[in-house]
Structure 1
Amino acid sequence: MLYLYLGSTMETDHFPAPSSKYLPGGKVRVTTANAHLQARYRSVGLVTLGIPALGTLAALGLLAFQPLRLLDVALLLGMYVLTVFGLEVGYHRHFAHGAFKASPPVRVTLAVLGGMAASGPLIYWAATHRLHHHFPDEPGDPHSPYLKADRPLERLPGLWHAHTGWMLDSEITNCALLARDLLRDLNVSRLNRRYYLWVLLGLLLPALVGGLASATWMGALQGLLWGGMVRIFLVHQLYIGALNSVCHLLGDRPFATGDLSTNNAWLALPTLGESWHNNHHAFCSSAVTGLEWWQIDPSGWCIRLLAAVGLVWEVKIPNQATIAARRQVR
């Protein structure tokens, strides 16, 4: 069932909204600068970013010996859509923002698909995203293109930091504070602990399909490279990186959100609708980002479809009066 709500920029019913890097009283930080954890974080980031990049180079090099098959393209596109769907509908709109409620099978499916994107464990991903909404383009934002920690950034360094650099050099998000609702959910915690299994599944599945379809080891390798490595590389660039960098630098700002988020039509399809990013920052808990009839939002369409068949419910969508009230006066 869908219902309308009076949206706001903070989902305080889902997680706390501290006004600084500390909770009131200055006792609990929203991040930690632990050197050991940051070193591990950096190592995991290097592996997560580096292996798909090397795999993409290998896939391109292999074209000199093996032509690109229609199956490889289908695996690339199919796995890309499935995993970005898991990130955007699952990790982002459902788990991070509580934009709708879902049945256990849907929650498991979304969590697994999101994990297959190799963009981080569910709970840490959601906590870090909530941190971004607490301090959008302000000191404390983990991936603003305008500043790193409290230090302003020039255009090019800021683009790098927001797109990729923050994944290699940032403080560790306090999940116990920012995602305690998810930590308390036993099923979510179990899925979160199996994150690397989901990443492996996202690599083995296209390899298996490619191998079985061609009955050759080369077909399996091509499936692994195109449906696995190249797909993860593109997810990191066109979804994770572009939303943090491009969608805070280039585009329109129809809503007064107090930050520098933008709407970028060129990225609507690659991000499955999340590039209407200013819309999202204006109505964080909305299950729909395409607030105009012409704004392409495949994720919102899928959520509406799931609601129509009863698999999700309490789908939050801002009403027209709320949308009009938030628009900037030109």
Structure 2
Amino acid sequence: MIVPFLAVAAIVPVVWGWGLSWLDLGLLVGFYFIPLLGVTVGYHRYFTHGSFKAGKPLRYGIAIIGCMAIQGPVVQWVADHRRHHAFSDREGDPHSPWRYGTDSRSLVKGMWHAHLGWLFDRRQSNAERYAPDLLKDKGLKIVSRLFVVWAFLSLALPAVIGGLVTGSWAGALSAFFWAGLVRTFLLHHVTWSVNSICHVIGTRPFTSRDRATNVWPLAVLSGGESWHNLHHVDPTSARHGVLRGQVDMSARVIWAFEKLGWAHSVKWPDPVRLAAKRHVPVGTAG
């Protein structure tokens, strides 16, 4: 968490020194979106909510790719997120921005907690309570325990590719900086913004029991996760962006998996259920 932050702080002198090449940019985009989808499609929609079913090759593959987002082992991530849904914006929610109250000062403190502060809480969600199904899968437990290995590969592979393509240590270092450290910083903060921003500001076109909102500027960078209001209305839905113009990259990936025969029993949105939960007119979060 700290090293990528320091890397971003060093962007200005780095750019001034050697800049950003097209190779660096390509690697940054690739190593941003592939692990992102490992989290959104794998960690979140598949492992946490069971939005679709898959065989072992895809199951373990997306778990490994999710680990490469460097957001923690799959079993612990799932336990935290299931606990979040069980107590969303109430006592027991590990990262509600409304934890300390509703006045401005309390909300600023709560936003910090929801975005980043909760990660320093020593009281982790109990995996035996919130993710017993994952603990029964020996292969998945091995993948989860090898998190450090997958995280290392996530940072090392850009450097290896950059070095091989350019034939220089400078190319390796530049790729490591942009597609390793800076990419990790961006991916972390976009994901954490769903915990913080998407429970405070934005639109609420559907009626949910909590304060989850839709924040459209984050839609592409979050892989469709920022259509958060619908997700809290229908958590098992494989698609979060259900209204016209709501881009949901993760749902398209699941659709592709289904067409290829890699995924089945996909839980696509139920129009009747959505209509029953729809606000008329659309309201805004407060």
Whether TM-score is above 0.5 comes out as yes
Scaled by the length of structure 1, the TM-score of the pair is 0.82
SS in 2 for 1:120: coil
Distance 2:246 2:202 in 1: 14
Asked whether the 8 Å contact 1:59–1:226 carries over to 2, the reply is no
Q: Show the counterpart of 1:144.
A: 96
Deviations 1:293-322 (A, max 9, x none): 311000001100110110111100122111
Q: Show the counterpart of 2:64.
A: 112
Q: Show the counterpart of 1:99.
A: 51
Alignment of 1:96-245 (within 5 A): 96-147=48-99, 154-169=106-121, 171-239=123-191, 241-245=192-196
Which of residues 317, 324, 329 is equivalent to 2:268? Answer: 317
Q: Show the counterpart of 1:74.
A: 26
Shift of 1:151: 10
Which of residues 275, 288, 299 is equivalent to 2:250? Answer: 299
Asked whether the 8 Å contact 1:56–1:225 carries over to 2, the reply is no
Distance 1:156 1:123 in 2: 30
SS in 2 for 1:321: helix
Residue identity opposite 1:324 in structure 2:
A
More relative contact order in 1 or in 2 (CA 8 Å, sep 6+)? 1
Gaps of 5+ in 2: 282-286
Q: Show the counterpart of 2:204.
A: 253
Q: Show the counterpart of 1:36.
A: none
- Percent identity among equivalent residues? 41
SS in 1 for 2:96: coil
Asked whether the 8 Å contact 1:147–1:158 carries over to 2, the reply is yes
Asked whether the 8 Å contact 2:64–2:150 carries over to 1, the reply is yes
Deviations 1:25-77 (A, max 9, x none): xxxxxxxxxxxxxxxxxxxxxxxx10111233345432222121011111111
Residue identity opposite 1:179 in structure 2:
A
Shift of 1:195: 0.4
Gaps of 5+ in 1: 1-48
Scaled by the length of structure 2, the TM-score of the pair is 0.94
Deviations 1:3-23 (A, max 9, x none): xxxxxxxxxxxxxxxxxxxxx
Residue identity opposite 1:314 in structure 2:
S
SS in 2 for 1:254: strand
Shift of 1:290: 1.2
Distance 1:303 1:158 in 2: 33
With 256-265 and 318-327 compared, the bigger mean Cα shift is at 318-327
Asked whether the 8 Å contact 1:287–1:316 carries over to 2, the reply is yes
Distance 1:131 1:67 in 2: 43
**Which structure is higher in helix share?**
2
Asked whether the 8 Å contact 2:55–2:262 carries over to 1, the reply is yes
Deviations 1:177-218 (A, max 9, x none): 100000001111110010000000100110011101110011
SS in 2 for 1:328: strand
Asked whether the 8 Å contact 2:238–2:269 carries over to 1, the reply is no
Deviations 1:88-128 (A, max 9, x none): 00000000111101122211221111101110110000000
RMSD of aligned residue pairs (Cα, Å): 1.5
**Residues paired across the two proteins, number:** 280
Residue identity opposite 1:231 in structure 2:
R
Deviations 1:157-196 (A, max 9, x none): 1111111111113521110110000000111111001000
Q: Show the counterpart of 1:265.
A: 216
Residue identity opposite 2:254 in structure 1:
I
Residue identity opposite 2:267 in structure 1:
K
Distance 1:275 1:227 in 2: 23
Asked whether the 8 Å contact 1:59–1:225 carries over to 2, the reply is no
